[in-house]
Amino acid sequence: GIILERRRRRRRRAAAAGEAPPPPPLRERGGYDGLVGATPMVALPALSRALGRRVLAKAELLNPGGTAKDRIARAMIEEAEASGKLRPGGEVVEGTSGSTGIALAAQCAGRGYRCVIFMPDDQAQEKVDLLRTFGAEVHVVRTAGIANPEHYARKAAAYAEATPGAVFMDQFETLANFRAHYATSAPEIWEQATAAHGRIDAFVMSAGTGGMIAGVATFLKERSPATRVVLADPPGSALFSRLKFGVAYANQQKERGVRLHRYDTLAEGIGLDRITANLAKAISAPSGGGGAGKKGRKRRRGGGGGNAALIDGAVQVT
């Protein structure tokens, strides 16, 4: 009673003052789900000293599946359950470069669902091995563009449509992805970073599906319109052109010159070449309101893994 009433009063006061409402209370959970989220924010002292800025990193590797994809896996399954699409004994189907599949496989093992994963053939074998360890059925397919029916996400969608009791999670387009990060990742980042520093000058993130950068950007912009949202991406990025010129196109896509693997990078799981429904929640928003809008920045330089790209982006921002 008292805690709920205080929250209601805070919401009423915020609404009367024209302020963004406080985030909803986090739901208490047990078991595997209880380990998802609430990850620590850690300082990077060497980088902070070199840049003359306080640089913090959200330690999403401490989620039970090792990535932030645990958050969206839980959200997608729970929304499918609530809608009645996913029933006891059903199948969870997804097309993934690995991390979302690992998170889904772990969730399915705990909830009693069968998990079927479609992956492109340019991903690390360790991901395939881990998926199978968690009990998932894995189909490795040749790498193809999203317009091709052989693309791993389209293969997963076709399989689910043809299989009774199967549900395609559709991580790229379902807004359960965006909502998961808006409701959990973003409030954690805001509370942890502002407690340590009082404000957030910039948030740097890459885009695999676009759900995390969109969810966090929207939340941060509602509370601090001056906060910069920076998208870090590998060379050959179509998103760079989309944010700078309004067209999602890179020279590597030109006819007669396009290669099967046009990203010259070691990073897996990033390098999105289209505007997903999740990413659109950020980049289509007005620059003074929610999302990244025109204040967003795109960084192409950098190599190595996804975390290296983020650090490179942070260096360039400062």
Please report the pLDDT score of residue 10 as a whole number. 53
> Which residues contact residue 92 at a Cβ distance below 8 angstroms, ignoring those fewer than 6 apart?
77, 80, 86, 104, 107, 108, 113, 114, 115, 116, 166, 167, 169
Phi, psi torsion values for 114, nearest 5 degrees: -80, 140
Kindly report, residue by residue over 174-220, the tens digit of the pLDDT.
999 999 999 999 999 999 999 977 899 999 998 889 999 999 999 99
Going along the chain from its start, the domains and CATH numbers come out as 24-62+176-317 (3.40.50.1100), 70-168 (3.40.50.1100)
Kindly report, residue by residue over 81-116, the tens digit of the pLDDT.
999 999 999 999 999 988 999 999 999 999 999 999
For the chain, percent of residues with pLDDT exceeding 70: 72
Mean pLDDT of the 267-281 span: 77
Q: Is the pLDDT of residue 18 over 70?
A: no
Count of residues making up the chain: 318
pTM summary value: 0.79
CA angle 248-253-255, nearest 5°?
A: 130
DSSP sequence for 168-198: E--TTT-THHHHHIIIIIHHHHHHHHHHHHS
Active site residue 69: yes
More confident residue, 221 or 254: 221
Catalytic entry in 69, 155, 281, 298: 69
Kindly report, residue by residue over 22-61, the tens digit of the pLDDT.
555 555 667 888 899 999 999 999 999 999 999 999 999 9
Query: CA 124 to CA 307: how far, in whole Å?
Result: 17
End-to-end CA gap in the chain = 46
